[in-house]
């Protein structure tokens, strides 16, 4: 069941056909909210209402990226409540140097795989560079495609005030929107990869952007690479959840790119990530062991052989 379908379950009385994200906060007060965002017993996908309720309870939650069905199924079984099919797939999955070349064809195909591999997590698909900047009509077309063809429950786009009309159009059509502020990697050619929101004026602009996104109907705001104090201020100023990456400990949620989190990324990783495993080493060792046994004749053995 998709997030939007879940939002229209019979138990969700009183909201009828109201666009899901428009009354996310009102939905949070309903008596049938699960008490824990993940690890709970309800056999349905996490919704934007659950995230709003978690903010009210002060419950922090984790988000990971995912780009394929099998990896996504591992994270779904592990209880990660929100999976982002990020355009970081450009760097982490498709072999590009930046997110800029990623297309909506890439995004739609991989988002559909992540949706197929999961049953609990809310799946958020990124709107790729060039798929929404032209204006609200283009943005709505791209968002609608991701919902209809891939089955995602929400979309993410970069920019606060500069993406206001796009956010409003998508939310009014009934598609929940996650906004992305701070370092916005699609603007790497103008921003570079550096901390955003430093200094009073930049910090005020970030707070303004976040409030604009909230007022336009966004259900959550990603804050990437911003000073912890500014992220904390944004988090206090909003009634929707903030999701930090390189934004310190005081956001409502934390997101990591899965290949960084699991130690799969080669080379240098950003200081704000933490490696919880060394998958690159484990996978490399497995490949070497396989190669050694093939060369030495130990594989396949009798138990792997048919007669
Ligand atoms: O594309 C992505 O993975 C992202 C996260 C870093 C938030 O936007």
pLDDT 10s digits, 79-91: 999 999 999 999 9
CA of 64 to the centre of ligand 1 (A): 9
- Cis omega (within 30 of 0) on the bond before 300? yes
Residue 24: per-residue pLDDT: 39
Of 9, 134, 149, 224, the catalytic one is: 224
Other C-beta atoms lying within 10 Å of the C-beta of residue 154: 29
pLDDT at 12 over 50: no
CA of 30 to the centre of ligand 1 (A): 31
CA of 150 to the centre of ligand 1 (A): 18
Counted residue by residue, the chain has a size of 307
**Residue predicted with more confidence, 125 or 19:** 125
Residue 129: per-residue pLDDT: 97
pLDDT in tens, 102-128: 999 999 999 999 999 999 999 999 999
**Mean pLDDT computed over every residue of the chain:** 88
pLDDT at 30 over 50: no
pLDDT at 10 over 50: no
The reply to whether 224 belongs to the active site is: yes
Nearest residue (CA) to ligand 1, atom 1: 86
- Model confidence at 39, pLDDT cuts 50, 70, 90, reads low
Mean pLDDT of all residues in 299-304: 98
- Name all residues whose Cβ lies below 6 A of ligand 1: 65, 84, 86-88, 126, 180, 222, 224, 245, 255, 257
What does the alpha-carbon distance between residue 190 and residue 183 come to, in Å, rounded to a whole number? 11
Residue 42: per-residue pLDDT: 64
Residue from 82, 106, 163, 255 to probe ligand 1 pocket by mutation (most atoms less than 8 Å from CB): 255
pTM, rounded to two decimals: 0.88
**Residue predicted with more confidence, 39 or 147:** 147
pLDDT at 181 over 90: yes
Give the dihedral sign, CA 100/105/2/39: negative
Greatest CA separation found in the chain?
75
pLDDT in tens, 225-274: 999 999 999 999 999 999 999 999 999 999 999 999 999 998 888 899 99
Question: Which residues fall within 8 angstroms of residue 167, CB to CB, at 6 or more apart?
Answer: 157, 177, 179, 213, 216, 217, 218
Q: Radius of gyration of the chain from Cα atoms?
A: 20
**Residue predicted with more confidence, 199 or 67:** 67
DSSP-derived letter for residue 135 is: -
Nearest atom in ligand 1 to 92's CA = 3
The CA-atom distances, in angstroms, between 65 and each of 83, 119, 273 are: 5, 16, 13
Residue 27: per-residue pLDDT: 39
Percentage of the residues of the chain whose pLDDT score is greater than 70? 87
Rounded to a whole number of angstroms, the distance between the first and last alpha carbons of the chain is 45
Q: Out of 89-93, 95-99, 140-144, 192-196, which region has the weakest mean confidence (pLDDT)? A: 192-196
Residue 143: per-residue pLDDT: 98
Residue 153: per-residue pLDDT: 98
Whether 124 and 110 have beta carbons less than 8 Å apart is answered as no
Whether 177 and 156 have beta carbons less than 8 Å apart is answered as yes
Residue 187: per-residue pLDDT: 86
Nearest residue (CA) to ligand 1, atom 2: 86
Domains, the chain, ordered by start = 3-276 (3.20.20.60), 279-307 (no CATH)
What does the alpha-carbon distance between residue 3 and residue 48 come to, in Å, rounded to a whole number? 8
pLDDT at 21 over 50: no
The β-bridge partners of 83 are 64, 123
Q: Residue 15: which of 38, 36, 32 has the closest Cα?
A: 32
């Amino acid at each position: 069941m998709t997030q939007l379908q879940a939002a229209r379950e019979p138990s969700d009385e009183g909201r009828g056909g109201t666009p899901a994200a428009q009354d996310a906060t009102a939905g949070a007060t309903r008596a049938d909210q699960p008490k824990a965002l993940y690890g709970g017993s309800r056999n349905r996908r996490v919704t934007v209402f659950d995230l709003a309720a978690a903010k009210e309870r002060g419950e922090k939650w984790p988000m990971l990226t995912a780009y394929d069905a099998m990896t996504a199924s591992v994270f779904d079984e592990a209880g990660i409540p929100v999976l982002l099919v990020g355009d970081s797939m450009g760097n982490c999955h498709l072999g590009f140097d930046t997110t800029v070349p990623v297309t909506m064809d890439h995004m739609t195909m991989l988002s559909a795989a992540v949706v197929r591999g999961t049953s609990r997590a809310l799946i958020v698909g990124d709107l790729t560079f060039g798929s929404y900047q032209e204006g609200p009509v283009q943005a709505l077309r791209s968002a609608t495609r991701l919902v209809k063809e891939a089955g995602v429950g929400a979309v993410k786009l970069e920019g606060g005030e500069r993406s206001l009309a796009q956010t409003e159009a998508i939310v009014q059509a009934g598609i929940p929107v996650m906004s992305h502020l701070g370092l916005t990697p699609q603007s790497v050619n103008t921003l570079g990869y550096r901390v955003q929101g430093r200094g009073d004026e930049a910090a005020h602009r970030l707070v303004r952007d976040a409030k604009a996104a909230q007022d336009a109907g966004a259900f959550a705001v990603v804050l990437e690479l911003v000073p912890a104090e500014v992220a904390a201020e944004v988090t206090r100023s909003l009634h929707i959840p903030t999701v930090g990456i390189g934004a310190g400990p005081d956001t409502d949620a934390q997101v990591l790119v899965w290949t960084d989190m699991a130690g799969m990324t080669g080379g240098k990783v950003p200081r704000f990530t933490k490696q919880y495993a060394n998958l690159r080493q484990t996978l490399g060792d497995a490949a070497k062991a396989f190669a050694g046994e093939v060369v030495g004749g130990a594989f396949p053995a009798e138990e792997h052989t048919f007669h």
